[in-house]
Structure 1
Amino acid sequence: MAVVLALSLRLKALVVPNVCWLFALEPDLLPLFQYNCRQFSSPEDCLSSPEFLDHIRKVMLVIDAAVTNVEDLSSLEEYLASLGRKHRAVGVKLSSFSTVGESLLYMLEKCLGPAFTPATRAAWSQLYGAVVQAMSRGWDSE
């Protein structure tokens, strides 16, 4: 639990700068982030958007909910499937969640440093995989 608390305090400071790395891994994600019909020309431009920062906050809330409910992720099944449907509706490819997972692991490694052991990496990968699996049901349900 101490690792999760340390993570939550430091991760917020690292998320925004490392989002550029996500867009470098998969540039096709950038056009999906349009707010008020505004198309962003660069990751930095996107990062200056209050709406995008709110989206990051929401992603962090989903991660927090998954960590909080790690012993009973089934309690989040319907919520995550609904979230999957919303992502599909705006054009997100299910395969893009693999890139997002890589980016998340990268941020965790930067945040935790030596505390990001192979076991920690495996645990986060498993948790993220379970979240994506539940979200993927949103692609299949309509």
Structure 2
Amino acid sequence: MDQTGLTSSQLFSLNCLYNKNMYAGNRFAPLKRSTETLLLRVQQTIGRGDYAAAEKLAREALETWRKADAPREEEGKLIATLGKCLEAQRKYEEAYELYMQALNYLVGDAYNEIYTSFLYLNERMGTFTNGSEFKI
């Protein structure tokens, strides 16, 4: 909470609603700006090593993004950041599921970034051995 007594999620939502009418040309411009601001806070929280708090903020940002029906193809940064938080806490299965779902709709650089994270996580979890063999 800040001096207004609102949580970061409430401030984020209010900012999105306030800016919604100001940018009629690009309906998601305010949401994108708010998301970038919140992602900076998440990165700062990660920098302090508080991955649980960072995970909570990243989940809130992703939830707000999805509630606004924003383009799923543009969730790459949110997914990557949340995945990083999950991996740092050794929540590998959750990160795996997050990446698997995201690979169904991401494109371009966002897809490549998440696919790379997915492969690294698979290697870390021991899913693949001897190159391309799948461990059962």
**Normalising by the residue count of structure 2, what TM-score does the alignment of the two structures yield?**
0.30
Which of the two has greater helix per residue? 1
User: TM (normalized to structure 1)?
Assistant: 0.29
Structure index of larger Rg: 2
Higher RCO structure, 1 or 2 (CA under 8 Å, sep 6+)? 1
